[in-house]
Amino acid sequence: MPALTEQTTTPFATLLRLAAEDAKERAAQEAARREEAARQAEQRRRDQSDRAVAQAAETVGLVYTGTLQRVLDKDAWTGYPSPDEDSRQRGPLAVASLADGAWVTHERRDLGDDYEYDQITLVLPCHCGSGYLEHAVQDDGDLLITLENYRTHDDGTHAHWCAAGLCLPKRR
């Protein structure tokens, strides 16, 4: 007969204890797996953001040497990861402020068949004050023409942009 200080454990009680220990171990492994997956996803987002900044700076240095390269350095850009990891249409985005409510964005778009296209978009406040205008620009000349058209319509004749639906509402 066992001593009074010894506990007697039935086979069923032992199995229940083993099941509880196993469940605790599986939960810890699952938590570790989720934590590692989250760490890897965050690293992918950081890598995409860094790549977006590098691509923007590279494009500006190659195509916009007379304009954007003169006013923006690599540190002016902020990178954002792809909105959808599975999307081949929308890549990471880089944005740089030009001050006075104006911005420039860079996105490398995948057009399929191993062809990518660098898109620079100028985002300007509409003169009406309640929206903004987006202009895709191809090079220094296109950028300067866009800015000259914008500047010459700073006299209250912005109504044609708003009427044509080019003035996009500000996001809140």
Question: From CA 62, how far away is CA 53, in angstroms rounded?
Answer: 14
Tokens of 49: 């953001």
Residue 114 has pLDDT above 90, yes or no: no
> pTM value?
0.74
Tell me the per-residue pLDDT of 6-52, one tens digit each, with 9 for 90 and over.
567 899 999 999 999 999 999 999 999 999 999 999 999 999 999 99
Question: From CA 68, how far away is CA 122, in angstroms rounded?
Answer: 11
Q: How far is CA 23 from the centre of its chain?
A: 38
Q: What is the DSSP letter of 9?
A: -
- The Cβ-side half-sphere exposure at 78, using a 13 Å CA radius, reads 5
Tell me the per-residue pLDDT of 43-61, one tens digit each, with 9 for 90 and over.
999 999 999 999 999 999 9
Question: From CA 59, how far away is CA 92, in angstroms rounded?
Answer: 14
Instruction: Return the top range by mean pLDDT from 46-60, 113-127, 143-157.
Output: 46-60
